[in-house]
Structure 1
Amino acid sequence: MPDSQPRQPDDHAADVTGGPERSALTLCGARLTDGRIVDVRLGGSHIEAVGTAGSLVAPGARVDLRGHLLLPAPAEPHAHSDTALTADTPGPASQHPDDVQRRATEAALLQLGHGATALRSHVRIGDVQGLGALEAVLQTRRSLRGLTELTAVAVPRLLTGIAGAGNLAMLRDALKMGAGAVGGCPDLDPDPAGYAEAVLDVAAEHGCPVDLHTDSDDPGRLARFAAMAGGMRHGVSIGPCAGLSRLPPDAAARAADQLAAAGVTVICLPQGGCCGAERLGTAPVRLLRAAGVRVAAGSGALRDLANPVGRGDPLEAAFLLASQSGLRAEHAYEAVSAEARRAMGLPEVRVEAGFPAELLAVRGERLAGVLSLAYSRIVVHRGRVVARTSAVREYRDSEAGGPPGLPRQGRPDPGTGGGP
């Protein structure tokens, strides 16, 4: 079990992070998914070199990653920072900007500790909160710069009719303030097609991505959305799309083909729903992948009313895709890493020279084992270690000759090796 919560590292700890003008950082003895044991030298925000273990000798800080599997860092494509960590709050959760910023900061650091070096957060605008919650999340983004990349998605409740006119103006204001994408839940609007059309129009006007909530099991509605989304220059994502699982197989297959033809990415939530989902469930990821749909996975609710025990852990999402949806471990991890980053418009990451230094080291030797017992983690963002989580498990034997209940020997957790 982790011995501490993720926290901002000390920039003066040269052996871990270096300083503002830090020299190259070398990750030593890491295992890659192809079985190679390598050293990886990081310079600034990119990988400078990858070589066999012991081959990269350079001045600067070094991190011993023997016993760790080194992976491209995951990203979180579907969070709700404004409602995170509110499940235990009596009564309605406070939407005062100071409270939202505090929760959003804590949630982002928790997810960073899990390995997500980039985060896309859906934030409600309009109604009683106006733009206050969005401003709080944008302030969180500014305060965490250098630790994690946080992008806000502006989410109005209504966009059609008289009630939606003010929200449509507010949506444009949200983009001017710094929201990086437009979103929302067409299913909650009296005119779902009109809502989706309004979002797509604003996105085209401002040149930004679209990320919408839907759990609709209406194949006609999905077909209309796919037709409207086709050809959008900037990315279009929808999720959680659990409603596809409730359709007859042939209808689900036709919807998947339409989404693939439109170039829409589906962001599923294997850990449960979120504030925009009416029913729990998971999208039919194998059917979608077979149709050629890009499928990413997010965490959704982080301990709010939609999922009071949500962990916000990308590796748990990958574990569930492998264990419950039948994906191979490497495809499940791609959903929370390469596909999540692509859905968010982020650069591709590989453990190769020239790629961004966005990395996650997990104690273990094989990806399947890492997804099963991913306790000890070291997170690298922009070429520096920004979070560590360590775990040690002890086994006690009262027959060792000592007093009952005292440990004979502290043994490392088989899934973690006992190291940091």
Structure 2
Amino acid sequence: MPDSRPQPPSHSWSSSSGPAAPAPLLLCGARLTDGRTVDVRLGGGRIEAVGTAGSLAADGTRARGTRVDLSGYLLLPAPAEPHAHPDTALSADDTGPVSYDPGDVRRRATEATLLQLGHGATALRAHVRVGDVAGLGALTAVLRARRALRGLAELTTVAMPRVLTGPAGADGLAVLRDAVKMGASVVGGCPDLDPDPTGYVEAVLEVAAEHGCPVDLHTDAADPARVARFAAMAGGLRPGVALGPCDGLARLPAEVAGRTADRLAAAGVTVTCLPQGGCGAVDGRGTAPVRLLRSAGVRVVAGSGAVRDVSNPVGRGDPLEAAYLLASCHGLSAGDAYAAVSTSARAAMGLPEVRVEAGFPAELLAVRGDGLPAALSSAYSRVVVHGGRVVARTSAVREYPGPAAVDPELPRQGRCGAP
């Protein structure tokens, strides 16, 4: 069975001063999605060169531990997680209400981020509750976890107030502005919970415009008129707007859903779907109509949502599982499904583009398998690279001791992990 816990690198660094410059690294014998087998040299946090296997000189990479054998692995741009809830993650087994004590939130956020890093997500957008019961304590805790994880994963935060209109709205707006000043780099929330959803969106867009922040809003899109209004209001806002999970669109008549998708596309809104379920009521799970949205020209990205909280007590936070579900249940090709959790997700989050080519950031995931379909269906063994460093490894060995005892010609074990 695979050990799902990520294994950080043996070297250490100070979280206050940040990681030292990564040493040169040579990834040997990896397969690319186009079928080539290559060596990839990393340096200074970027890809320095890509050449046929055995062609790259190991100059500067001869020191112990600077060569990684990726024979049998597929090398990909690393996933990014656009929709995480680390402040409530890993709380499903707790009794009573979720604790927003800063110590509890920091512990859960750190563990959940490392869990998702082990799956391959080197960048995560964390949606964090602010105001009412959480105050600013949960955000403070997640920002501290972010600093502690520097050099392992890139964590950005979305401030999510509950109410921004009516008598309680003034307090919510003050907390939202304070959250941005503290370090929240995205403003968002769930307008469906406010007595005046349109007013809520107007308030979020106002704060975003004041600070030049992206916007990331939650809605189930059960009301097509409401989601169309959100799209129209958000259209023209830059640097961008994301809306999700939009699962209610799947419950609309096809013609109505199609018109709504056209409006989302015209507004330039990204839809973040959650194929694994879990971001809200357990009985309201579903997934946005991915193919309809894509055919309308909407950029669709996929996130994991809940990681073992009350919304999804068994949530794994695995971007490859999200891609697998897009391919197996929603008819996307393996390449398009993986792009939804990697290159498209990175673009929606405002992160630099990643390709396995010279000059691009060294944000990579190596998965045991000879192609994307195999990688998505049985991605047990993984090597994760962030900033040019190997930051996590997961290995698995599958054994068949019973049949071999009956027939000695049968193999005793089949390795699906790294040597």
Q: Does 1:367 align with 2:372?
A: yes
Q: Which residues of 2 match residues 207-246 of structure 1 at below 5 A?
A: 207-246=212-251
State the match for 2:192 in structure 1. Answer: 187
Q: Determine the structure 1 residue equivalent to 2:266.
A: 261
Q: Which residue of 1 aligns with 2:42?
A: 42
Letter of the 1:29 counterpart:
G
Mark the CA change 1:362 to 1:192 in structure 2 (over 3 Å): closer, same or farther: same
Q: Which residue is equivalent to 1:135?
A: 140
Q: For 2:148 and 2:359, how far apart are their aligned partners in 1?
A: 28
SS of residue in 1 equivalent to 2:279: coil
Q: What percentage of aligned pairs have identical amino acids? A: 72
The whole-number CA distance in structure 1 between the counterparts of 2:143 and 2:12 is 27
> Contact 1:396/1:408 (CA < 8 Å) preserved in 2?
no
Unaligned runs of 5+ in 1: 14-18
Which ranges of structure 2 fall in alignment gaps of 5 or more residues? Answer: 14-18
Residue in structure 2 matching 1:86, options 87, 91, 98: 91
* Residues 110 and 190 of structure 1: CA distance in aligned 2, closer, same or farther (over 3 Å): same
Whole-angstrom distance in 1 between the partners of 2:202 and 2:21: 48
Determine which of 267, 277, 284 is the counterpart of 1:272.
277
Task: State which of 297, 303, 312 in structure 2 corresponds to 1:298.
Answer: 303
Question: Runs of at least 4 residues of structure 1 off by over 4 A?
Answer: 406-409
Q: Is the 8 A contact 2:282 2:312 kept in 1?
A: no
1:108 matched to 2:113? The reply is: yes
Distance change >3 Å, CA 392–CA 220, structure 1 → 2: same
1:411 to 410, 413, 419: 413
Q: 1:7 to 1:407 in 2, by over 3 A?
A: farther
CA RMSD of superposed structures (Å) = 1.9
The C-alpha deviation readout for 1:383-402, integer Å capped at 9, x for no partner, is 01000000000002267369
What SS does structure 1 have at the residue aligned with 2:399?
Answer: coil
* CA displacement 1:141-172 (0-9 Å, x = unmatched): 00000000000100000000111110101100
Deviations 1:332-363 (A, max 9, x none): 00000011101110011000001000000000
Identify the range of structure 1 (339-348 vs 392-401) with the bigger mean alpha-carbon deviation.
392-401
Equivalent AA in structure 2 for residue 145 of structure 1: R
TM-score of the pair, normalised by structure 2: 0.94
> Structure 1 residue 93: deviation in Å?
2.2
How far, CA to CA, are the matches of 1:7 and 1:401 in structure 2? 37
Q: Structure 1 length normalisation: TM-score?
A: 0.94
Whole-Å Cα distance in 2 between the matches of residues 222 and 4 of structure 1? Answer: 38
Distance 1:250 1:101 in 2: 45
* Alpha-carbon distance in structure 2 between the residues aligned to 1:263 and 1:56: 42
Structure 1 pair 401/196, CA: closer, same or farther in 2 (3 Å)?
Answer: closer
In the alignment, is the contact (CA less than 8 A) between 2:380 and 2:396 conserved in 1? yes
Distance in structure 1 (CA, Å) of the matches to 2:310 and 2:349: 26
User: Separation in 1 of the partners of 2:151 and 2:4?
Assistant: 21
- Distance in 2 of aligned mates of 1:254 and 1:176: 38
Shift of 1:8: 2.4
